[in-house]
Amino acid sequence: MRAVRLLGTGRSFYHFMSRVVDRRIVFEQKDKEILREPVDQTMRFCSLRKRP
């Protein structure tokens, strides 16, 4: 199991991204919108917000 890197109190930041080999286009715009909805729902459920 991976060790915790940072310990502390206060604000927390989560980084969500995906990468592909050779910067190929994997998702079309419609696919991105379909994927984004469950991510947004999870963010609302966990009281997270997008960074400006």
Residue 52 falls inside a structural domain: yes
Averaged pLDDT score across all residues of the chain? 76
Q: Does the structure show a pLDDT above 80 at 31?
A: yes
Per the structure, the complete domain to which residue 40 belongs is given by 19-52
Decide which of 11 and 24 is more confident. 24
pTM of the model: 0.48
> How many CA within 13 A on the CB side of residue 51?
6
Distances 7 to 3, 10, 30, 46 between C-alpha atoms, Å: 11, 10, 39, 20
**Total number of domains in the chain:** 1
Is residue 31 domain-resident? yes
pLDDT attached to residue 12: 66
Closest alpha carbon to 14 in 44, 52, 51, 41: 51
Higher pLDDT, 22 or 19: 22
